[in-house]
Amino acid sequence: MRYTSDRMPPVGKPLMLRDDDDRRIERLKRRLGAASKVDVVRSALTLLEARAERAERVARWRRAARLAAASSLEVLRDFQSHSRLRRDD
C-alpha cells in the first residue's frame, strides 16, 4: 500500500478530466448544492445505473411479450369463438 507524505492511506484513485468536463462538474456542484465533485460524479453514476437497469428491464419485457404473443392470440381466438356476446343474426 502506498502512503502519502503524512503517512495516511490513499483516499481513492485520481481521475483525469478535461478542463471543460471539470467546469461542467463544478457548475453541477453549485446547482445541486453538492459538497464535493465526487458527490456530483456519484449522483451521475447512480442515474446512469438506474437508466441501464431500466433499459435491461424493458428489453426483458419486450422479449417476454414477444414470446407470449403467439399463445395469447391463440387463447383469444378460442374465447372469441365461444363468446356469448357475439350475435349470429
In a domain, 27, yes or no: yes
Read off the pLDDT of residues 46-70 as tens digits, 9 standing for 90 and up.
Answer: 999 999 999 999 999 999 998 888 7
In a domain, 43, yes or no: yes
Residues 32, 37, 42, 45, CA torsion sign: positive
pLDDT classification of 2: cutoffs 50, 70, 90:
low
In a domain, 72, yes or no: yes
Least confident of 6-10, 28-32, 54-58, 72-76: 6-10
Range list of H helices, the chain: 19-32, 37-81
Query: Cell numbers of 72, please?
Result: 395469447
Range of the domain at 35: 19-81
Count of domains for the chain: 1
In a domain, 87, yes or no: no
In a domain, 5, yes or no: no
CA distance 55 to 58: 5
In a domain, 63, yes or no: yes
- Whole-number mean pLDDT of the chain? 85
